[in-house]
Amino acid sequence: MAHVFEQSTINGMTLNNRLVRSATWEGMCTADGRPTDKLIKCYRDLAQGEVGLIISGYTFVRPEGKQFPGKMGIHTDEFAPEMRALTKAVHDEGGKICIQLVHCGGQTDSATAGRQPLAPSSVKVEQFPEEPAELTRDEIRDIAAAFKEGARRAKAWGFDAVQLHGAHGYLINQFLSPLSNRRTDEYGGNIENRCRFLFEVYRNIREAVGDGYPVLIKLNATDNLAGGLVVDDAMYAAKRLSEAGIDAIEISTGTPASGEQSPARTKIDSPEKEAYNLEPAGRIREVVSCPLMVVGGFRSYEVVEKGIRDYGLDYISMARPFIREPDLARRWKKGDTSPAKCISCNSCFGPGLKEGGIYCVVEAKERNKKS
């Protein structure tokens, strides 16, 4: 039986435990998307804290696919020195780092993107700041090619793996969701057509990195929205990805428009409120043979163990707990298995906009009281 602190391998990438730092937005890059020393330190701290795999913040493959300030980019070869410094810092501490590739599509805005946002259809859904322009076939091919170039750079710069962001209302998820994809051509309609862009991106990336390099995806099991992606369609996409050779699938749910069922839920103050994506992950587990990760409200070591033991999950992902405690994995490994100190207030994201980088506001207040 698998357990939390054992070694495992994903397509040649050896991980020292089954804990994954799930991607988030750190707000620690320059205006054009270069990683800063602050971001490098953030990832170094996670590696020192012995998390099994670090997945980077969501990294835009083209400038018009950027969403927030301080977001990392991988759209140009010019970032090579900073990116190599980042991967080296993680590797020097014995860690492994996977870069998450994204195009935010209709979930960005004209001011940030520098043009009218692009999406599968010109339709204003709740999570879009404004009405986007419908992508042409040529633009779809160009964006798929940008994912390929991003993956090529990632491998050359020392990242141990790449992950596609196919969740949380971003472009791949926008194509998968009938709520945001109203197209009547080969990219819209039934779930097979709505998967077309995803598989074009995946094939492009495989061409760039080869079969022996880990390619992962973060996939919504459901959008938790009326008219959005549902579990049965996600199961179809996951099964096809597994058959096509995807190396791991990380399951999430929700979009910014999903209310109390959004990706980063608040008030997780008891084990019963944790692991809110276990049920849909269990359904996807039934149809895939590749390794499966799940993110969503894990705080207690016992609940992490249960996900691996009872649900057949290969890895457990967390984001906010590692903002509060980058050394959480090491603490648990040493025997202090008390719950993560994160109180799920989401206040950590505010400083990303105002101060050039996320951090745990609650911990900072506690520290200031003691000093």
Residues designated catalytic: 170
Query: Which positions ≥6 away from 257 have C-beta within 8 Å?
Result: 125, 126, 127, 169, 225
Structure tokens at 301: 């070591």
Structure tokens at 183: 């197209």
> What whole-number distance in Å separates Cα of residue 55 and Cα of residue 20?
7
Structure tokens at 262: 């959004």
Among the listed residues 105, 100, 54, the one whose alpha carbon sits nearest the alpha carbon of residue 73: 100
Q: List Cα–Cα distances, 272 to 53, 97, 151, 275, in angstroms.
A: 26, 31, 38, 8
From first CA to last CA, the distance across the chain in angstroms is: 46
Rg of the chain over CA atoms, in angstroms? 19
Q: List Cα–Cα distances, 148 to 61, 144, 210, in angstroms.
A: 9, 7, 11
